[in-house]
Structure 1
């Protein structure tokens, strides 16, 4: 028996995500935050880029990662759509609506941050997380 064989982790049972799958699933959720930060100079609309890239890379090889990346992608598309509607409402009201839309954007943004961190933690535990509200565009 080789030393590497003796110290290697046993394979995960069927149906249980491996450590690598759990890590990629966590990255799928957290990549939304990274995308938002990296695109902050142009308004921060890159929330969905990270989950999209991870989903496209892993959809055929890691089912748990594909599921969680789709969930993160759908949620972040929904959040981006909410922000777009609030932004349009601000412009349509010639800025007066900002009294309502800016606090709403802060609440939605903070809520999204909390939900993304919770989803990343659950995915890292191997639990398939479902966001409480998301338009399921990618199936």
Structure 2
């Protein structure tokens, strides 16, 4: 299945929307475990959940890399500004993604590198 937004042509069911939203919201409690369990169990049943699972894990990998770079840049004092910026952005983007998923929208999180296609 492609990660392209245009490949999903149906309207997600209420259960699909709730499960996609839960992937994002449960990430505040368990960053990887809960979203991974939902995605692995439901990805073959729903293109919508599969799309949001890929988006979430691309987000996690991307922002982990950005965090490492920002941490390294603390040597040059730039990282002290970047770390809180990435933290706040990640919180905002997860909340927005959860709302969009609940509304049945295909949302691509900004600044995310597509590792999982």
- Scaled by the length of structure 1, the TM-score of the pair is 0.70
Q: Show structure 2 runs of 5+ residues with no match.
A: 1-8
8 A Cα contact 1:71 1:131, kept in partner: yes
State how far apart, in whole Å, the 1-side matches of 2:58 and 2:33 are.
11
- Scaled by the length of structure 2, the TM-score of the pair is 0.82
Q: Return structure 1 stretches of 4+ with deviation > 6 angstroms.
A: none
Report the equivalent of 2:24: 29
8 A Cα contact 1:58 1:66, kept in partner: yes
Q: Following TM superposition, by how much is the alpha carbon of 1:131 offset from its aligned partner in structure 2, in angstroms?
A: 1.1
Tell me whether 1:117 sits opposite 2:92 in the alignment.
Answer: no
Q: Following TM superposition, by how much is the alpha carbon of 1:128 offset from its aligned partner in structure 2, in angstroms?
A: 1.0
State how far apart, in whole Å, the 1-side matches of 2:18 and 2:64 are.
25
- Say if 1:50 and 1:83 are closer, same or farther in 2 by CA, change over 3 A: farther
Structure with the bigger RCO (C-alpha within 8 Å, sep 6+) is 2
Q: Show structure 1 runs of 5+ residues with no match.
A: 1-13, 36-46
Q: Which of 69, 90, 98 pairs up with 1:85?
A: 69
State how far apart, in whole Å, the 1-side matches of 2:63 and 2:95 are.
15
Report the equivalent of 2:84: 106
Q: Following TM superposition, by how much is the alpha carbon of 1:70 offset from its aligned partner in structure 2, in angstroms?
A: 0.8
Report the equivalent of 1:126: 104
Higher-Rg structure is 1
- Say if 1:70 and 1:104 are closer, same or farther in 2 by CA, change over 3 A: same
- Say if 1:49 and 1:102 are closer, same or farther in 2 by CA, change over 3 A: farther
